[in-house]
Each structure stands twice: as C-alpha cells, then as structure tokens.
Amino acid sequence: MNRRKLLTLLGLPALATLLGGAYAARARGQNPYYAGPVKANFDGLTFSDGREITKGFREFFQWQLQGGKESWPASYLTPPQDVPPARSAGMRVSHIGHATFLIQVAGLNIITDPLFSERASPFQFAGPKRVNAPGIAFDALPKIDAILITHNHYDHLDLISVHRIVDRDNCRIIAPLGNDAIIRAKRPDIAVEAHDWGDRVALSADVAITLVPSYHWSARGAFDRRMALWASYVIAAPQGRIYHIGDTGYHDGAFFREHGAEFGPFRLAILPIGAYEPRWFMADNHMNPDEAVKVMADLRAEVALGHHWGTFRLTNEGVGRPLEALGAARKAAGVADEHFVASLPGMVWQPPAA
C-alpha cells in the first residue's frame, strides 16, 4: 500500500495529498513548497545553512534501535497557569509550553510556534504526548496580532493550533520560505507572509522582526527534507530586543556571534535546552544546555529562558536532565541562576522595574 493511500484510509486526506505531492515533486527534482532563484541558502531544490549533511535514515534507525531512552512520567509538575493581560505596554513573556511563548511587548501580542494540541505529531492518536497542560489555557489567550513560525517540524508547526488562532483572531502569520504552502495546503484562504533570512518585517510602528539563520533543518515527511526554510527571530521593540530560537545546533557558533554583533545586546534570549541526547546523533541540530549558555554569551544577552524541554519526550534524556545540566553549565560559566532560567509552562518573565 502506498503512503498516500495509507494516510487517506487513516482519515488524513490533506496530509496524504501534501506528502504524496512532496514525493512526486522530489522524484521530478522539484520543490513542492517553494520555487525561487538559486542563492546562497537555496540550490533550486533544497535549503541549506552551509553545513554538510551528515545524518540520514540509516543513522536515525541506528539511534532508534540502540535503546538508552530514560523513562518519563505521565505528568510533570509545572507552575500555575498564567492568565495574561489583554495587552502590555512594556515587555511580558509567558511560556505556554515547549517552543510556544506569548510575547507581549509595546502593546502587541506575539505567539511563537503555537502548539496547544495533546501530541506533537501528524496524528492525534499517536506520537509524543504532552506531560503538562499549556501554561496558558487557549480560552485565556489574549487576541493575537502575529504568529511567528520557526520551521515545519510537528512540534513547532501544529496546523490545528495555527488555524484555531487565525480563525479566532484573524492575525498575521510570519514564516520562513516554503512554510506558507504547508500552512495553506488545507486552508488556502489563510494569508501567510513567507520570508527569507535577513528579511525585516514591521509588526507595528514600534516593533519589527528580522528572520535570521540557525543550524537546523526541515521536514514534514520522508521526502521533503530541507524543502522549506527554517529561521530564528530577532524582535526589536522600544523595551529592548528579544532573540527567539525554535531549534538549533551550535556548530561553530558563528551565526550567534554574528547576530550578537549585528543586533545585540539582547534584553532576552529564548533558547532551546532540551532534546539533545544521544549527542552523536542530535548535536548537529539540537544544542545542549552547555552550548545554550555559550549562545547566551555569543548573543550578549542579559537574560535567557530555556525551553524545548519537559513537555514532550522527543529524545533519550529524562524529563529533568536539561534542568540539571543547565545548572552545571551556569556554574561552570559563572552565570547567575536568575540570568538563565529553565522555563516551565505557566512561568512569566518581565524585566525588573527600573
């Protein structure tokens, strides 16, 4: 039975069409999501961050077969759910879970990689299941002005959550190149603004974002690897600058030093600290807490929040390992505990009053 027929029988015709189309397009040497000129980060078929691709399906199955995964609890303690204000004239950042944050700054409400579903998966009956509730209940979410998508992995681009917010708030969606086709595959009525690295987008008279590169990749299935772009975001506002990464490896740190020099210093850096074991497989695309502390220094960030841990079991490390590893990394680098916090759903960060 072919891939498209199986997905259709499972009741997922839109996904069947999307992934079946990706397979057919790749067989023809075409990109199903994006058609544009060849440039530094795009060879006409796939996107690149300049690194050699070293891991593939063989290495993935090797990881899956070798064991070593620590168990996770069915639930993990978190702070109480946040009930945010309708707007904030200052800067207020609330962690909803995984890579989802509500950033309230200069009167705008921005949400990153919204994921309110029970699973980070193309299926609602299988795949990584959350072990804590979203840090803000959907009904308590204020009106959203802009959704920022970092890339198309299922733990970052959850179409159910994106469509739900857009239907309620008619907000803008900003995404890297190619992700617009994925978001609009089932809902062609939705407007998505797709941008390249280096593009600056005004969200208001006072707030602008810039898409910047990270060391990662993209895929929704087996046949569309690196066919949509991935990005991090620089958010510039009168209250200061925020740097948000959905996922990244550290590599040689060049991107982060460049961004620190060009855009820094940052008032806040929102950095992933989880999904990093085993290192032989994950290091290319997921940094560990020690590397996240290096990124904080590279960016010249005053404060960092660690995310991408403690909600979905994606890799080998136990649910609390990133918390322990971050503590050791802070101590080794001489970073005060309050300057790099491992964030949990429901936690709120605000700059101290002047």
**10-residue mean pLDDT series, the chain (354 residues):** 43 49 63 97 97 87 91 93 97 98 98 98 93 98 98 98 98 98 95 98 98 97 95 98 98 98 98 97 97 98 98 97 98 98 97 79
Q: pLDDT at position 135, please?
A: 98
Assigned CATH class of 31-349: alpha beta
Beta strands 91-97 and 348-349: pairing type? antiparallel
Q: How much is the pLDDT for 6? A: 41
Per domain, the residue ranges of the chain are 31-349
pLDDT at res. 10: 40
